[in-house]
Amino acid sequence: MKLRQLTELEWEIEKEPPMLVPGRVFASKPLLKIIQEDESLKQLNNMAQLPGIQKYAIALPDAHQGYGFCIGGVAALSTSEGGISPGGIGFDINCGVRVIKTKLKRKEVEPCIKELTNSLFTGVPKGIGKGSIINVPRNELKEVLARGSNWAKDKGFATDSDLRHTEDNGYLKNNNPDFVSDRAVNRGLPEVGSLGSGNHFLEIQFVEEIYNESVSKVFGLERDDVVVMVHCGSRGLGHQVASDYMRSIEDAYPDIVKNLPDRELAYAPGGSDLADKYFKAMNCAANFAWANRQLITYSVRNVFEKFFDHSRGALGMELLYDVCHNIAKIETYDGVECYVHRKGATRSFPKNHPDVPEDYKNVGQPVIIPGSMGTGCHILVGSEGALKKSFGSTAHGAGRLMSRTKAYKEFPAVKVNQIMQDKGIYLKSETKGTISEEAPGVYKDVDEVVRVSDQLDLAKKVCRLKPLGVIIG
């Protein structure tokens, strides 16, 4: 594999058979060095072999090893010549992040951060034996799958403004709940409105630094404003949809799978019945994830209302935005309609793009990039460069640096708790294991990931958020 430097932050894996296009890596030298330590580039090379792939296979600055595609990977496959690959989306369909604003200031929240975090920990269920926000009857789950955040709105869990400030308004209409298996439904039923565990989190943060005053103003964020960030996805339902269709595709297209370098790149050819079914089932899982994050938002607002004895309106608990970072969308680039696979990648649409909400039309969509729990998160704004270079995409997080087994050894829970305490961050977790796995040192430097994104114009920096209280499942 030949890696060639194109510019300071752009690298190319030269096209060699059986690759159909080159690979493109967006990274600084230090980030590239980390990316080269695992199988990410080999996976990028594999992605470049998929039929119908446009321009190049992309690894973003937070890229790390996944299965099939690398995480932090983008590939646009023509809807006619290519196809759709569940392994290019990930098991956690529509895993995503949202930010809920408040009118509270850091100095009002910091003194009671422990109590507030504990209240949220109790108020937001984690799923499986740990409860979910509501029990949805089986026949109603179809409504969740078909209507996403619209279902939540009808039930009183969402406002019009929430929907306007969610990617795709929190609902993808090209769906069909009949294509979601009973097994997936059974896994989803006990989990409607639950955070999950692993790298999923809920954080109370404040605006630490503003890089772009005018955009920040449009987003309604000022220095020291307190916000709540939620990171989770479609839970077991989405995982089962991915598993089910990987199997269906393998069974239906053994010849395709046989010729792929990795079984998990299996794709349903564009125009096939299976591609249509998977796309519609995936959109159901995406709708489930939005409904899930919306229910969590509802619970967060309830906890804040009770805790501060003010209405959510008075507390200014508006949704800034909600992005999904594991999904395939049908979008058109250079006249070619594609399934744009974003696996651990955030859509980054610039100002005046038709898919940017009206309130942000003049600046671009908010792009939310969380870092590890001890460092910070960034709000960026979608930019033109992304449309030219990365099929309208940028990074989705800091990206993992080391394996979980190594994390256990290097970051025992006691040590992580101490690190967090030293940083003035209150950490509440269900398990010790997760504390180690999510330790700040386990992730790459999010500031560097964001710097690369900003410099390449994939998304521009707006402000940096710092955690005060962290909940992990």
Partner 1 sequence: MNYEYLDTSTADLTIRAFGKDLKEAFTNSAMAVFNTMVDAGSVSEQEIKLVSKKAKDIKSLFYDFIEEIIYFHDAEGLVFKTVKVEDIDEKNNTLRAVFKGENFNPKKHKPKNNIKAITYYDMKISHKNSGFEIEFTLDL
Which residues are near partner 1 by CB under 8 A? 38, 64-68, 71, 90-92, 127-130, 183, 186-187, 189-191, 196-198, 235-236, 239-240, 242-243, 246-247, 250-251, 262-264, 400-406, 430-431, 433-434, 437, 473
- Least distance between partner 1 and beta carbon 252 (Å): 12
Say which of 231, 341, 353, 396 is annotated catalytic: 396
378 catalytic? Reply is no
Q: How far is the CB of 397 from partner 1 (least distance, A)?
A: 11
CB of 182 to partner 1, least distance (A): 9
Contact (CB, 8 A) for 123 and 117: no
Q: At residue 419, what is the residue type?
A: I
Ramachandran class of 428: left when φ > 0, alpha when ψ lies in -120 to 50, beta otherwise: beta
Please check whether residue 163 is in contact with residue 100, taking contact to mean a CB–CB distance below 8 angstroms.
no
Q: Which is nearer to partner 1, 119 or 431 (CB)?
A: 431
Closer by beta carbon to partner 1, 147 or else 235: 235
User: Are the C-beta atoms of residues 177 and 140 closer than 8 Å to each other?
Assistant: no
- Backbone phi, psi, residue 301, to 5°: -60, -40
**Which tokens in the block code for residue 100?**
């809920």
Based on CB atoms, which residue is closest to partner 1, 107 or 138?
138
Token look-up 């949704």 returns 319
The least CB distance from residue 437 to partner 1, in Å, is 8
One-character DSSP codes across 158-173: --HHHHHTBGGGG--S
CB of 338 to partner 1, least distance (A): 25
* CB-nearer residue toward partner 1: 22 or 127: 127
Which amino acid is it at 447?
A: D
Q: What is the dihedral of CA 381, 383, 389, 392, to 10 degrees?
A: 70
Token pair for residue 73? 């990977």
| Of 172, 362, 133, the residue nearest 286 (C-alpha) | 172
CA distance 425 to 260: 46
CB of 236 to partner 1, least distance (A): 4
Both tokens of 387, joined, read 């449309």
ω before 18 within 30° of 0 (cis)?
A: yes
Q: Which residues are catalytic?
A: 396
